[in-house]
Structure 1
Amino acid sequence: MNDFGNGGPMPAAQQGVAPLPTGEDDPEGDLLYQLLVGEIAGHMGELEVAVDHYVSAAMASRDPAVAERATRIALFANQREQALAAAQRWIFLAPGNMEGRQVLAALLVNAGQVEEAVEALHHVVRASVTGESAAFGAVGNLLSRSPNPDAAVSAMQGLVERYPESAAAQLALARLALHMERPEQAGEAARRALDLDADLHDARVLYAQAAARQGDLDGALGILREAVAANPEHGQLGLAYGRMLIQARDYDAARQTFERLISMRPDDVDLLYTLGLLSIEVEQYEDAESYLERLLATGQRSNDANFYLGRIAETDGRTEEALRRYRGVGDGEHFEEARLRKAMIMGRSGDVDEALRLLRDLRRDADEPEWRMRLYLTESQVLREASEYERAMDLLNQALLEQPDSNDLLYARALIAERMDRLDMLESDLRTILNRDPDNSAALNALGYTLADRTDRLDEAYEYITRAHELRPDDAAILDSMGWVLYRMGRYDEAEPFLRRAYEKMYDPEIASNLAALLWAQGHREEAWDVLGDALSKDPDHDRLLRLKDRIGR
């Protein structure tokens, strides 16, 4: 069905729009002919013919409804010049029609006819019955959808110049300029709005956002900090300040800001959700659960609440609760991720076959390549963690037949190859990734660490890990690799700070094993046993930890 109604199918033999007879001295008949041919052509999908006839009808008719219909059909057919001509006719016939004025203004902006667009927009603002502020807001929304951002901002600038004392006009310009990625112009307009009305909080927020977009995040925070101090009860300013703190990655300060806001608005759904996520970010999981439970109690955003409550339960090792939470995630943003995490938990709990069945059912119905790849990767991880290496290898070989250019699938196969002592395949797959993407830090690190751990090619390993470290200097896994290759090279004092930083940043049994091995080699026997003992208490069956325990003996 298209914009022309629900007419039945045309006869199969009819391949075009047949001419209809009309008299030369019959204007009304000619108009009817143009309309009828335009309608028939539209039903047949011959949009260019339909537009030509409808626009011809609009030019001949005194009825603004015909011009409006011609405008909409031309827009539907993406015939912009024809739409502009029809819209101009529409306004000529119905100069007071504000919807027509807005359509005309938008078309003029798209065509780059700025002066004419300003005139049309001026009529819209002047005739508005909703007030100046709402009128400028509507104009800004209209122009924000333009595919011609230069003309859109210029048109708004021209309109604003006709209202030099209007703070609302400057505010609308600031908002549009920021939307169109012109932060400097947005900041200037926001400042002029504040000069006209110092209590216009929307303008102050835009002023700060413009500063942040120009790279002055400290300045933006200063603007909002001062505004919040002067107006501590103003929720919009507090929200903006909290979001800016998140942008600056000052999560503790952001959390304090949102906690103050929630004390004033205890049932605010968005605040509860934001506080839940912020608490997760700073690893305050009990607080996060409290906020997310309160969010769940409101009956809103239950999918979000259940998903993150599931993540917290999973992190804490509360397997059954995590599964229950993930089952409570319905259709929406987190639905697919929740199903993947359910499968991972089931696999780790020993229910490998059921986890694989779930993932295969999902894959059978998956059409989108990216989603299919994620399913393959999750299934291979379940198999890898269950030590089903042959099955994981077969699965990834199948996946790579479907998506041979996937670096993620190659990387996953390299991990399986390492477990199978197929270092030739691991090296081949990781080198293939690096040939495609020389700055792939994960591949650089994996290749370097494997060479350091499993071969005597230590200089080569050091080179790969150094490149990875340059790309991601704070990554715990890369710090561990750097420490381990230095340990293997006998450079113990250089290795120690890397392994300690890795251990501090992230608990991982392999990192703990590497640090304990280094400490033992340095003669720090008690500390080595402390690190190893703590790791064994958390992962008593981990092969690498057990091998180190057997080697150093106690």
Structure 2
Amino acid sequence: MKRSIPLLLVLFAPIFVSWSLPAYSAPDGKTRQQIEQIRLRSGELPVVKLNADMLYRILASEIAAQRGRFDMASQTFLDLARETSDPRLAKRAFQFSMADRDMARSLKAAREWALLAPGDPEAVASALALAASNGQTAGLASALRTRIEKAENKEQAVIQASAIVGKMADKRVAFEVLEKALPPSVRSLPVAHLALADAAWAALEPTRALQEARQALALDPESEPAAQRVLEYGLKVDSIAAIDETRAYIKKHPDSRKLQLMLVNRLVDRHDFNAALEQVNAMRQRSPEDFDLLYTEAEVNMRSERYPQAQALLEEYISVQTQRRKSINDKATNAMADASDARLLLVQIAEKQNRLGDAIAQLDLIDEPSLRFQAQVHKAVLQARMGNIALARRSIESLKPQDNNERSVVALTLASIYREAGRTDTAVEILLKADSSIPDTAEIKYDLAMLYERQGKFQEFERLMRRVIELDPNNANAYNSLGYTYADQNRKLDEAEDLLERALELDPGNPFILDSVGWYLYRSGDFEAALEYLQRSYDQMPSADVAAHLGEVLWVSKRPEDARRIWQAGMAKEPQNETLLKTLKRLGVTLK
């Protein structure tokens, strides 16, 4: 299934650095290896003469990095590091390579940095982590074990080892490496068992994760992080026991605020709203001055659809924050931001109750600078939902965007308003104008491509979506949209497979992508695999579109009753869904 949701722009801030290398040279006639040996024995940084050529290359690289040319900057710094044996230059090469997302060059730079600064834990950890992330795990366990055994600060060494294996793609292998890396000398440290618990959890071994978390708590009965893991991992193994253990810990440690809030969240996730509210009330009785708990209680009531209670609590919370602002200078508190967050919740409640006018009134009261633009954009969306598109457009056009990011949001929002109103041609005009004024913006091109697809202009759709992938190679939605379109049209299935594999690699649990993969497998004739992916998608997102696809595969798999059940559920949610209606018509199915 294609996803027509604008993505947020990711902006990189320029990276600056100042250099102050000693202005005298190393002894003449020494080889690089000899220089390194002398320096390593002394534990000092090398002395490097900043000649005109070096100074020019450093400054040129910094300017290149500020302009986004991290490839050029990182390679130059790596060359300089090898010429001078200065670890600071190798570190800079590593930083720019990471900013460029070039893992191969990052690994080279990290290894050079570690070679030149073997006593720097950050350098060694970076080299090991990059090697692990690239699948180079041979000898990693023994290397980590040696580091831990030699380290004076064992706890810090265990934490670093855990961070390094955490970079590995294969989490089961990562867990095995960490287990081998921890020597007996650290097995009595709670942090070792916490690290093993986290690694086991990532490796999808919740029982072992819980066992290690309990061991950490046994070694340090005061440890709130250990208690948090007992709750989190225990919920997967034995939820009742995990909650009971957590309550027992809280009884002994009534000031464990983070754990108690975590328990509230997990109870809400389980839809045990009464128990969650009981926990919040217990916290409020113990800490009546903790006004943030008003907000927490309001959130729980909102999740349980007790809207009047939630609204009353939020209004009380806003009143408290207003008093704080009057009594204390705004800059000395976060009262403005807290009150604005509460108003955003009031907006959600009003929308759920279809009180769009009240929602707009709350949006107008938001004065937190970082939220004001977002609030006014949302106001325009609500005005359009109320049927007043002209007013929504005036609201959008009255905004004063500060940068290209906000200009993109304005264009995307206005286009979406017209798209939802069925005025696709106007939406296209808006995005074409935006694409001209803000070129090479992947989000604008993505939405424009989706509009072309809606209009049946598949060549324009394909051209633009390929350009989105060029601009943003990690855009899972773009791969998914193009792959799904090929599968839906039953053409270029080999390319559809490649595109969808890439999308799935980038975002494995995305229900839109799972639906697309299932639909591709159906087109390819693998009904059994198609059912697996479509069912996974439907379990996460029981929309009419997914119901149409899942129902069709069930129908051709000679399971008509299951198909009808899925289609009826989809029809109940979206009676006018185009995909579902076309599917039923094409298959000649009439639902009772």
Question: TM (normalized to structure 2)?
Answer: 0.52
Name the aligned partner's letter for residue 119 of structure 1: A
Q: What corresponds to 1:174 in structure 2?
A: 197
| Match status 1:276 vs 2:298 | yes
Deviations 1:307-365 (A, max 9, x none): 22244456778776543312123544963674146515865xxx775345436768995
Is 1:262 the counterpart of 2:284? The answer is yes
Aligned counterpart for 1:159 among listed residues 181, 188, 197? 181
User: Alignment partner of 2:283: what SS?
Assistant: helix
Equivalents in 1 of 2:302, 2:260: separation in Å? 21
CA distance in 2, matches of 1:444, 1:65: 53
Whether 1:375 and 2:413 are equivalent positions in the alignment is: no
What amino acid does structure 2 have at the position aligned with 1:157?
E
2:131 paired residue among 101, 108, 121: 108
Matches within 5 A, 1:205-354: 205-213=228-236, 216-228=238-250, 231-268=253-290, 271-296=293-318, 297-298=320-321, 299=335, 300-312=337-349, 322-329=359-366, 330=368, 331-332=370-371, 335=375, 338-340=378-380, 342-343=382-383, 353-354=390-391
Higher normalized contact order (CA 8 Å, seq sep 6+, divided by chain length): 2
Change in Cα spacing, 1:377 to 1:133, as seen in structure 2 (3 Å) is farther
Pick one of 96, 102, 108 that aligns with 2:119: 96
The answer to whether structure 1 residue 188 and structure 2 residue 211 are counterparts is yes
Query: How many residues are treated as equivalent by the alignment?
Result: 403
Contact 1:156 1:173 in 2 (8 A): yes
Q: Contact conserved, 1:313 with 1:322, CA < 8 A, in 2?
A: yes
Kindly tell me: are residues 227 and 49 of structure 1, through their superposed partners in 2, closer, same or farther at Cα, counting changes over 3 Å? closer
Residue 109 of structure 1: how far off its partner (Å)? 2.3
Which structure 2 residues correspond to residues 410-429 of structure 1 after superposition, within 5 A?
none
Q: Structure 1 counterpart of 2:338, which letter?
A: R
SS at 2:305 equivalent: coil
How far the C-alpha of 1:165 sits from its partner, in A, is 1.0
1: CA distance, partners of 2:425 / 2:341: 35
| Secondary structure in structure 1 of the residue aligned to 2:315 | helix
> Distance in 2 between the 1:356 and 1:3 partners?
38
Contact 1:217 1:248 in 2 (8 A): no
Matched-pair contact (CA < 8 Å) for 1:186–1:210: yes
In the TM superposition, what is the alpha-carbon distance from 1:87 to its structure 2 partner? Answer: 4.0
- Quickly say closer, same or farther: Cα 1:171–1:444, change in 2 above 3 A: closer
Describe how 1:72-83 pairs up with structure 2 within 5 A: 72-76=95-99, 80=103, 83=106
Q: When the two structures are superposed, what TM-score results if normalisation uses the length of structure 1?
A: 0.55
* Runs of 5+ unmatched residues, structure 1: 8-23, 381-392, 408-431, 447-461, 479-494, 496-554
- For 2:418 and 2:15, how far apart are their aligned partners in 1? 42
Write the distance in 1 (CA, Å) between the matches of 2:112 and 2:354: 69
| Separation in 1, partners of 2:165, 2:86 | 28
CA-based RMSD of the aligned residues comes to 5.3
- Give the Å deviation of 1:244: 1.4
1 CA distance for matches of 2:53 and 2:171?
Answer: 36
- Mapped to 2, the partners of 1:100 and 1:443 lie a distance apart of 50
The aligned counterpart of 1:386 is: none
Aligned match of 1:428: none
Q: Secondary structure at the match of 1:301?
A: helix
The letter of the residue matching 1:186 is: A
Counterpart contact for 1:38–1:53, Cα < 8 Å: yes
CA distance in 2, matches of 1:276, 1:161: 48
The one-character-per-residue Cα deviations of 1:278-297 (angstroms, maximum 9, x if unpaired) are: 21233333431232134323
The answer to whether the 8 A contact 2:297-2:310 is kept is yes
The CA distance in 2 between the partners of 1:222 and 1:38, in whole Å, is 63
Instruction: Report percent identity of matched pairs.
Output: 20
AA at the equivalent of 2:379: R
Residue of structure 1 equivalent to 2:506: none
Is the Cα contact below 8 Å between 1:343 and 1:359 reproduced in 2?
no
Aligned pair in 2 of structure 1 residues 400, 173: CA closer, same or farther (>3 Å)? same
